[in-house]
Structure 1
Amino acid sequence: MLDHLEFKAPEPKVIAGAKSDWELVIGLEVHAQVASKAKLFSGASTTFGAEPNSNVAFVDAAMPGMLPVINEFCVAQAVRTGLGLKAEINLTSAFDRKNYFYPDLPQGYQISQLYHPIVGEGEIIVDMGPGVARRVRIERIHLEQDAGKSIHDMDPHMSFVDLNRTGVALMEIVSRPDIRGPEEAAAYVGKLRQILRYLGTCDGNMQNGNLRADVNVSICQPGAYEKYQETGDFSHLGTRCEIKNMNSMRFIQQAIEYEARRQIAIVEDGGEVVQETRLYDPDKGETRSMRSKEEAHDYRYFPCPDLLPLEIEQAWVDDIAATMPELPDEKKARFVKELGLSEYDASVLTAEVENADYFEAVVAEAGDGKLAANWVINELFGRLKKDDRAITDSPVNPAQLGAIIKLIKSDKISGKIGKDLFEIVYTEGGDPEKIVEERGMIQVTDTGAIEAAVDEVIAANPEQVEKAKANPKLAGWFVGQVIKASGGKANPKAVNEIVAQKLGL
């Protein structure tokens, strides 16, 4: 189904330093909140925006004697995500304790999966334009619990802690360092978000923090990345710095660009890049040091004694695989092949799962993929954008838009009347077919009436007639006058034919 994509890798981003050229190497750790109503190890709600500390179970608050109980649905969502990324599903995995102290982590450790993740190696195909795509390898996906939230801006003398997010299930999706530029990094996160939303395993809401990325950036001399690919030796890639908690595609690009230039300046001045964790300040457009970068041993990982190894059966995985939806690349390919859409139109219509679902419902009603794509993209999306509305809030449902298209296809109304009808349905609602009948919008196909209208326009404009005979392209003026005189109801095809006949063209 992906035969339409040519996997030609884009050129790496090259930044000219004062002394030499440099290339970027980028890897991402994306934290995706599992789409689950309950937390990973408790039955507490995951509803966003609840009163502070209202969605907290005893185990989330680390009350003595409280033991975690795994949420099977969260495990299924992780498996589903792994299948969507063409990854290996590990039938045996295990949870570990990642030990560190912070006020919003009441247990003093985070339950995660370092040594035995639930999902192994996979891949994402990032389409970078016509004929160009990057294959980004996924190293692993592991389940872990989120921490709470520290709030520092409510009182200048105090900090507050909200534990509502504590224990919420996260999937950490770790890529290999295969990304070579800021635009690719943003496109990768966008593609991952798209796949997760199609799968229904994460809502992808970056504004609420439900999808956020830690971005690892390093610089290297041209050719060093190829040496890393040949040998697997990370030392060729330079010292990496991690930019934490990025929740905007635009900020990801800006942060990478700044961080790369910062590292280049250090190296070219004879210094060494220090491996550290940094934060991005969008107001200043720069990264700043947060802390030295920890390694695994700094967290003193050890197997979680409260949880047995997680063992799942292949039959259970197969049952999940049987319910997998059509993913965006496959859907896009089908739209191109079966509906005759252009690559661009298919990309627009599959960008969001809601767009694709709406479009397919319109096609089912109208029976014409190309015409449906034209109306959905140009008329519907254009009007929704103007009104700042989402497609899920569209006043025109797929059945109504499909009915409008069917009326045009059957020649009951013209394309121009169709736009007027769309506006009526958008603002007032109603059955398009009934509106056309009740308001007298049916297209005039009576050739006698059209011929009379053409004769009238020709008789009233003898000078224009001579111009049209000398230059046939000017015959369109007569067509426009006739359609205008009919209030847009005259069949354009019939008008064109009769005008050409009357003018002897």
Structure 2
Amino acid sequence: MNQQVKKEASLLVRGYEVVIGFETHAQLATQSKIFSRAPTAFGAEPNTQACAVDLALPGTLPVMNRGAVEHAIRLGLALGSHIAEQSVFARKNYFYPDLPKGYQISQFEIPVVQGGEVSFFLGDEKKTVRLVRAHLEEDAGKSLHEEFHGMSGIDLNRAGTPLLEIVTEPDMRSSAEAVAYAKELHKIVTWIGVCDGNMQEGSFRCDANVSVRKPGDPLGTRREIKNLNSFKFMQQAIDYEVRWQIEQIEDGHAIQQATVLFDPDTGETRAMRTKEDAADYRYFPDPDLPPLVIARDWVEQVKAGMPELPRQMAERFVRDYALPEYDATTLTQSPAMAAYFETAAKACGQPKLVSNWIMGEMSRRLNAGEIGIDHAPVSPKQLGEIITNIVSGTINNGGAKQLFDHLWQHPAQVGQASSLDPVTQFGNPTTSVAEMIDSLGLKQMNDAGALEKIIDEVMAANADNVAQFRAGKDKAFNALVGQVMKASKGKANPQQVNDLLRQKLQ
């Protein structure tokens, strides 16, 4: 079986191919709503941020929010999409208690953002998901069921909040690939500042359209899992839905198109309603809104103000710092991480070692503490100084980890930045790393004479290991090295220890 066939086989679940497409609602980071001046701040008392337009009172008319359109342009540029010079708003008709007008203003036939793609890594394999469109629309209100003792309440604070709905082709073939896509899209919208990405507050909501089929068959009937608000639940929901659909098919049942919800407590999806098609919504152009016209010079103006995008920065890291593509992609997960890397790399001139430390020791501690790199106690300048001292032979790797741990545990001794500014210098250490190395006694032992004396003592005390090595057992050599490092309290130069010990043993 060749590699391509093996790869395809590995993507099958019990002989079925999984097909996933995504619809993501990104709440745009504007001060006011898409068609009114009402504020969009999260957490206000119910119905205190809904004006006459949001309530659909008679005689009110929508007025387009220029900031929302500009955010749409920014996202389209970031995704390599076509920005339509003219797009049209439509009324999407359905009745629900938290939709005051009885319709939602959205875009249907001619969206503002068309095409584009999102590329990301799944492990060390590069994947690309094609986009169909991203269209502007207003959010609905929210029905509240739990606080009213058997009754329901309607909160219209969210009604009219600007959204971009980002729709993909059905290009994903596993839950892991779907989560990787969602994480990459999340990174892009937060990186360019069009969305705060807060999934718990509903600012970034994902709907996964999931179907299964035998390889080579037409696409199966899809079921849409609504409002997935965490990457963990996203993977669990898709995995359960795939298993459920396969079991239904193998039991002789046909899959019915439906909208389903995921219950994190049970780990299962459950049907909410029969899935509607476009015809069910009776779309027609909204007579209250003229076509949205975007002049080319406006697009160019927005383009000129765009930050360096993650993929562009990753390409620069590969080109300028000779990093592997995987490292470069990992280091551009956020502006703060990218800025931390560049500051540390410039401080020591060892970009690959900086990358290794950030992706290894630094990430482990950040994850354990559930903090972002913008709150790391060790500044990038300090990390650069640690690496400089490793390269010069002043400290070994063991001493470097002890120093890193001390800086992490005692930030007050070395100064600590309250925040990391991607533009300015990180941190403001009051004690230099060189002074900390001296005060902690971490300087590496490079004196050959002193090392030989320790090695002689270790060999004399471990005659059995010496004999085993000379009898051809290589593991005994590692045991002797460990004893030498222990005797030197971890300060010996490991390479010198290896060379001197091997000379003496041979």
Give the TM-score category using the shorter length: 0.7 to 0.9
Alpha carbons of structure 1 residues 12 and 58: separation in structure 2 relative to 1, 3 Å = farther
Question: How many Å apart are 1:37 and its aligned residue?
Answer: 3.6
Q: Does 1:275 pair with 2:257?
A: yes
Question: How many Å apart are 1:105 and its aligned residue?
Answer: 2.3
Between 482-491 and 373-382, the greater mean CA deviation after superposition: 482-491
Q: Does 1:120 pair with 2:114?
A: yes
Alpha carbons of structure 1 residues 489 and 151: separation in structure 2 relative to 1, 3 Å = same
Question: How many Å apart are 1:366 and its aligned residue?
Answer: 2.4
Question: How many Å apart are 1:172 and its aligned residue?
Answer: 0.3
Question: How many Å apart are 1:141 and its aligned residue?
Answer: 0.6
Match in the other structure for 2:444: 443
Match of 1:411 among 387, 393, 397: 393
Query: What is the CA–CA distance in structure 1 between the aligned matches of 2:383 and 2:104, rounded to whole Å?
Result: 50
Alpha carbons of structure 1 residues 306 and 388: separation in structure 2 relative to 1, 3 Å = same
Match in the other structure for 2:277: 295
Secondary structure at the counterpart of residue 164 of structure 2: strand
Match in the other structure for 2:75: 81
Question: How many Å apart are 1:418 and its aligned residue?
Answer: 1.1
Alpha carbons of structure 1 residues 382 and 286: separation in structure 2 relative to 1, 3 Å = closer
Which deviations, in whole Å up to 9, do the C-alpha atoms of 1:170-226 show, x marking residues without a partner? Answer: 11011123334434333332332233233332233322222222222344453234x
CA contact (8 A) 1:33 1:211 kept: yes
Match in the other structure for 1:249: 231
Question: Where do 5+ consecutive residues of structure 1 fail to align?
Answer: 1-5, 226-236
What's the RMSD between the two structures over aligned residues? 3.4
Between 313-322 and 463-472, the greater mean CA deviation after superposition: 463-472
- What are the residue-to-residue correspondences of 1:225-374 with 2, within 5 Å? 225=218, 237-260=219-242, 262-263=244-245, 272-336=254-318, 338-342=320-324, 344-374=326-356
Letter in 1 for 2:25: H
Alpha carbons of structure 1 residues 15 and 405: separation in structure 2 relative to 1, 3 Å = closer
Sequence identity (%): 48
Which deviations, in whole Å up to 9, do the C-alpha atoms of 1:69-112 show, x marking residues without a partner? Answer: 33322212211211222211101112222233323223333221
Match in the other structure for 1:223: 216
Query: What is the CA–CA distance in structure 2 between the aligned matches of 1:450 and 1:456, rounded to whole Å?
Result: 10
Question: How many Å apart are 1:428 and its aligned residue?
Answer: 0.9
Secondary structure at the counterpart of residue 200 of structure 1: coil
Question: How many Å apart are 1:425 and its aligned residue?
Answer: 0.7
Alpha carbons of structure 1 residues 37 and 486: separation in structure 2 relative to 1, 3 Å = farther
- What are the residue-to-residue correspondences of 1:40-79 with 2, within 5 Å? 40-79=34-73
Match in the other structure for 1:380: 362
Query: What is the CA–CA distance in structure 2 between the aligned matches of 1:270 and 1:485, rounded to whole Å?
Result: 70
Alpha carbons of structure 1 residues 283 and 71: separation in structure 2 relative to 1, 3 Å = same
Query: What is the CA–CA distance in structure 1 between the aligned matches of 2:150 and 2:17, rounded to whole Å?
Result: 45
Secondary structure at the counterpart of residue 224 of structure 1: coil
Which deviations, in whole Å up to 9, do the C-alpha atoms of 1:125-175 show, x marking residues without a partner? Answer: 354444563x43211110111112211111332212222322221110111
Letter in 2 for 1:144: E
Between 190-199 and 152-161, the greater mean CA deviation after superposition: 190-199
Alpha carbons of structure 1 residues 254 and 466: separation in structure 2 relative to 1, 3 Å = closer
Match in the other structure for 1:402: 384
Query: What is the CA–CA distance in structure 2 between the aligned matches of 1:300 and 1:27, rounded to whole Å?
Result: 23
Match in the other structure for 1:233: none
Which deviations, in whole Å up to 9, do the C-alpha atoms of 1:331-372 show, x marking residues without a partner? Answer: 445545554545554454344554333333322222212211
Between 35-44 and 209-218, the greater mean CA deviation after superposition: 35-44
Letter in 2 for 1:186: V
CA contact (8 A) 1:251 1:282 kept: yes
Q: Does 1:145 pair with 2:138?
A: yes
Aligned residues: 482
Alpha carbons of structure 1 residues 284 and 455: separation in structure 2 relative to 1, 3 Å = closer
Query: What is the CA–CA distance in structure 1 between the aligned matches of 2:18 and 2:500, rounded to whole Å?
Result: 64
Match in the other structure for 1:434: 435
Question: Where do 5+ consecutive residues of structure 2 fail to align?
Answer: 415-430
Question: How many Å apart are 1:274 and its aligned residue?
Answer: 3.6
Letter in 2 for 1:124: V
Match in the other structure for 1:34: 28
Query: What is the CA–CA distance in structure 1 between the aligned matches of 2:488 and 2:352, rounded to whole Å?
Result: 28
CA contact (8 A) 2:327 2:355 kept: yes
Alpha carbons of structure 1 residues 458 and 268: separation in structure 2 relative to 1, 3 Å = closer
Match of 1:93 among 58, 73, 87: 87
